[in-house]
Structure 1
Amino acid sequence: MSDDAEAAAETKYSRVLLKISGEALMGDQGYGLHPPTVERIAKEVKSVHDLGVEICMVIGGGNIFRGLAGSAQGMERTTADYMGMLATVMNALAMQSKLEELGVYCRVITAIRMDEVAEPYIRRRAVRHLEKKRVCIFAAGTGNPYFTTDTAATLRANEMNCEAIFKGTKVDGVYDCDPRKNDDARRYDRVSYDEVLQKHLNVMDASAIALARDNNLPIIVFSLDEPGGFRGILAGKGTYSIVHS
């Protein structure tokens, strides 16, 4: 049996959603897109796609514009949030371009209509794309201000009947404080949705956690900086934390 066939046989999930922040695409830069980083993440996605896993993605926009930050500087909140949604579309298009360079068919699907740029969100059409083994990148959040891309990711994962959300971060799981700043930070292998909410653990915002809890959708937190981490965790290997009921 080939390595890919063996890994596919061990894969625990057949359809997942990968959520990453916009900041994950800027590498060591302080702003914008870092093409080598985009390529590295695209290769991680391709390695999982090659196993036959159906993949959705939601990418934040904080590397370009963050609505809440704009609002804090005096901009009207709704306008700032719409600007943040447009930033997520730019990131989605960059990821689509790189995935297609690698031979992975991909669709950017937006919650705000912009037909010349991407497809509008139609649930049944998106499901069909997944069935045809196309990666679906959901952009522009939920299409509504005051909702984060965390909430959008949980909403789309439920609508697409994903088996789990994979949250790619800078650390290898859920901690009670930032392990990059605190040597004695406690790491959780498994943690409940309610504990995440009660202890204000930095996984996703409260709306996203509550929506995942209400639909019993597990959230797997892992390091996006670990080469091969995404693929390994799908086979039940590697280091990660799981948020569950």
Structure 2
Amino acid sequence: MSHLYLDESLDLAAVVPGGTVTLTGDEARHAVTVSRVRAGERIAIGDGHGALVHGVVASTGTRELELTVDEVIVHEQPVPRITLVQALAKGDRDELAVQAATELGVDAIVPWAASRSVSRWEGPKAEKGRLRWASIVREAVKQSIRAWLPAVAPVTTTAQLPDRLEGQRMLLLEPTATATLTELRPDGRDLALVVGPEGGISPAELEQLTAAGAEPVRLGASVLRTSTAGPAAIAVLNAALGRW
């Protein structure tokens, strides 16, 4: 299997088999000096916007790698799109959710400052946290050899969620809900899965978000951790929507 390297500045959809692609900068340095990619090895390069090229490494330099392309694959963006609204959580539980959700095909991620979130992204920490999640997403895309790189939005409050998710169908993962996710029937809208922190979504937030049109749904009889609820729901939706 090819190892994937990303360069969002490339326009790989215009590349044709037999052509060459040059990977430069930090990504090329990592490939050559850390992963020790050598001429003759087969790798893939993606642009994060749906195109992947596969081929054989023709030459390498300290911060440059040239690939002779033998296959170009352009993936359309899945419809409907799935956004994970992941509440900030203590430890690395929110990061584990973001990593797994990316590997499972989520299309966008929104960090959520829920009322019960122990972790707080405030001031300079807000952008630092977003960049940390974006780095996790990028590495997960490379590991799973995905064509699309999900965007990570700025941290969002409960009051800001309806506007941030305008036009999307909000699904609140709530263990006490009567409706189940497996009963969901697509209505043409993109989907946003809202996952609470360790203490769950507060009653006030449930009331506020349902008033804005969100639908509480449950996964099953058990209560999942914040690190597993989102990925589990994405797996269910992948099967229901024919994405798998």
TM bin (shorter chain): 0.3 to 0.5
Asked which structure has the greater CA Rg, the reply is 2
- Which structure has greater helix proportion? 1
Q: What's the TM-score, normalizing by structure 2?
A: 0.41
- Which structure has greater strand proportion? 2
Q: What's the TM-score, normalizing by structure 1?
A: 0.41
